[in-house]
Structure 1
Amino acid sequence: MPLPVGQLYQKKELGNGTIGSLKDYSIYTVTAATDIDYGVALDIQDNQAVVAAKAPIYAISVKRAYVIGHSYDDIEDDHWLKGEKIGALRRGSVSVPITEDVGRLDQATINADGTFRPAKPGEPVVGRFITAGDANGTAIVDVNLTDMGTTGTGTTVDKLSTPATDTNTNNQSAGTSSTTGTDKKGDK
């Protein structure tokens, strides 16, 4: 039987992967490609979640509301297992593991293991810390992750057909399209 977690048995600061504020948030569901800890940055590989090694990131893993285990000692080591559908926060506030001291409103970035720290000048920013925290503890980071400003990988799920093009735009014949199939105005 799963053990309910809630706020019981947590330290004063929120545990990793806990929703960190009452403001609106957006959580997607994705399959874990490997075992994934709570509160770490995620990326997508082969349509599955993996721990992100660098920014930009896809989302942050949130914890589930129960623990798989037989005693309360299992709570501390619980995590998402390979193949599970996991919660991936794309917008909102969540408690995350930090490796350096952070101040309230510091810009946040990630380490190669998906944990968080303050961003240094010139580093990509994934969000802002809304609470202060001590190194090797937790802090709440606020994010609004989009795919804007990122570079495409060229990977697609479905192959799109490309309409015929006429390289000579002054001499187009009827029925020939001058688009390349990449203009998707109106598609969401």
Structure 2
Amino acid sequence: MSRSITLRNGRTFLAKLDDEENIIKSKADSYNNLVGLDDNRLSEDVRTDINAVIGEVNLLLRGKLKQFRGLCQANVTKSTSGEPIPLDSDLEGFWDITYPLIDKVKEKFAKLDMRKAKQWAPVEEYDPNDINNRPRALDDRLKQLQPQQNKSSKIPVTKSSNDDLKKLIQERRKAAANSANQNHDVEIFVAPK
């Protein structure tokens, strides 16, 4: 199966760049106007989140996108100041690196749009690729240590049974600390299997 690769030139990328810049600039401007209003509905956390995304847009516009624009213009005019003229394939590679940054900013604006639609309530985020944000799988030993519910009556474990468990743990810790101070024997508690 033959796959044709379409190389785009500097003019094509300049047009794409203009479109993407207009999208993120207009979003940044609208949120900047929203923050500029003295609106009591916006908490300090919301204002901070909005300003962080606007700042990311500004950095992107002044950094990578400005650099990419210069490369595209050098490709179109075929004149540089002693630098090699960027090839169409060079522009393809730079775009492949740059576009995910634009996409990331657009995703952040989409999250802000969701929060705005929910009167700025926090939006639960779950990233399956983030190791620290995955639901934890409890192994059987940890499940045994957790208070169990009576499955037949569906009555949750009472507060007193939780308090009893806490007292038992504290007593064992004190006893272990006292015995460690008196003699240097180590006592290991193992949950029954």
Structure 1 length-normalised TM: 0.21
> If each structure's helix is expressed as a fraction of its own residues, which one has the higher value?
2
* Bigger Cα Rg: 2
> If each structure's strand is expressed as a fraction of its own residues, which one has the higher value?
1
